[in-house]
Structure 1
C-alpha cells in the first residue's frame, strides 16, 4: 500500500514539473492559430487648399489574407466637396497579412470650411472607420495695387443723332442693306446645296445623331480590337457633341471640369450628374493616364452614355404623320361637300 502511494506521489511531482513546460511550448502554436484583427490607417497631404486644387486622402488596411476588403465609392451629400478620382487598389503581402492601399482625390470649387465625414471600410466581418476632418478652401488672392493703370483719355465728342447719321451716310446705309440682302440670298442658296450634300447623319435631330453615333460605335467593336482609348474618345464625343448640338454647351472644346460646371443648368438629377462626372473623369484617366478599366466598367459607361442621352432628350412637339395628314385632308373634303 505504501509502495503504491510512493508511485502516485512521484507521478504527481513529475506532472507538476512537466506541465508548465508543455504549456510554455504550446503558446507559439496557439498564438499562430489566432489571426490579427484588421486595422485601418489614413492620411492626407494637406487640409488647406485653394479653389480647384486637390487633396490626396490615402487609406491603408491591414487584414488577414483570406479577409475580403471593400473600399467605398466615396460620395458627398453636398456639392461643396467633390471626389475627382481614385487610384487603383495597391495590394502587398507580409507573412499571413495582406496590405491594401488606395488614394482618393478630393477638391472643391467653393470657398469655405467643409467637413469630410468618417469613411467606412469593410474588412471581413469588421467595419473600420476613419476620423472626420475639416478642409479649409480659400480663393486666389489678387493684389489690386499692382494692377496696370491706364492714362487719362481725351474728352469724347457728342455722338451724331440718328437723323444726322442718315443724312451723312445714307448712301452707305443703302449699300449695306443691299449687301445684306444679297448675302442672305447667297446664304440660302449655299445652305440648300449643302443640305443636299450632307451625310444622312447631319439630317437627323441632335438626339437621333447621338443614337446613330452610339450604334456606329457598337458596330466598330473597338474594345474587341483592344482600342480602349479610341473607345472612350468616341464614347465621350457622343455626349459632348450632343450637349453642344442640343443645348449649345461648348463641351467638345471644354475640359471635363468646365463641362461639368456648364451642365449644372440642365435638368439632371444628382444620380445622372454623378454618372456624367464618372464617365468624363474616368475617360480622362484612360486618355491621359493610360488607365485600363475592366470589361464591366466599359459596359457600364456605355450604358451611362445611352441613359444620359435619353434623360436629356427634350420633349418633342407632335409631328404631322402621313396618317394625320390623310385624316386632315379627308375632313377638309367632307367640309367642302357639306358646303
Structure 2
C-alpha cells in the first residue's frame, strides 16, 4: 500500500514538475484618473517553449491606455510588464487573458480596477505661470511666415515663366519664317495631288486660293479669309504692305480663280503650273515685304 501511494505521489509531482506555471499580478486595484498602474504576467518552468499572446500595446481592453509594454523571455522564464492609465471614472475589468505556451492555451485570472477622481469639488486650479505677452519683431514675423511668403513668390515666378514660354511658343509659331515654310509645304502637297496633270482645275484653284488666303491672313495681318477678291485687291493696293510684284501675282491668280469658279475660263496645264509657281515665289518673297514694312513703320 505504501509503495502504491508513493508511486502515485511521484507521478503527480513529475507531472507538475514538467508543467508551466502562469501567474499575473496587478499592483493597484484603485487608481486615480491618469495614474499609472502596472500589470505583470510571468511564466515559470518554460523549458524553452514558445509563448504567443496579443501583440504589444494590444493586450488590455479599450479603456486601458497602455504607456509601456515590455516583454522579456529566457530559456525557463517569461515576463511581460504593462504600464497603463485610465482617463475615465468607474470600474473596469481586465478579463482572463489567453497565453499559448508550446501549443497549449493558458488563462490569467481576471481583475477589476476602480478609477476615481481625486480632485475635490470647488478646488481652485491655478496656472503654474501666468501668460506672458511677447512683442514680436519683424524677424519674428519672418520666421513665422517665411515659408508661406517664399511659396507665394515661387508660385508667381512659376506662373511668369510658364507665361513667357507660352508667349515665346506662340510668337515662334506665328513667325514669318515658320509661316513661310508651312505654306511652302502645303503648296508642295497640292502639287502632289496631280490636279494639274489630271486637268482638275476647279479643285486645284479652290485649294490654291484657300492656301493663299490663309497665308496672307497670318503673314500680313490682312483679313484675306473673309474679304471678297475685289475688296482684298483694294486693301492690298492701299495698304502698301505687299510689294508691287507680289500684289500683281495675287491679283492675277485670284481673278483667274474667280473666272474658273464661275466656269468663265478653262485654264490649261501650263497656266495652272505657272500660277502655282507664282504663288510659291510670292510666299518665298514675303519676308522681304515684311522687312520693308518694319523699316517703314519702325516696328
TM over 0.5: no
- Normalising by structure 1, report the TM-score: 0.32
Q: TM-score, normalised to structure 2's length? A: 0.36
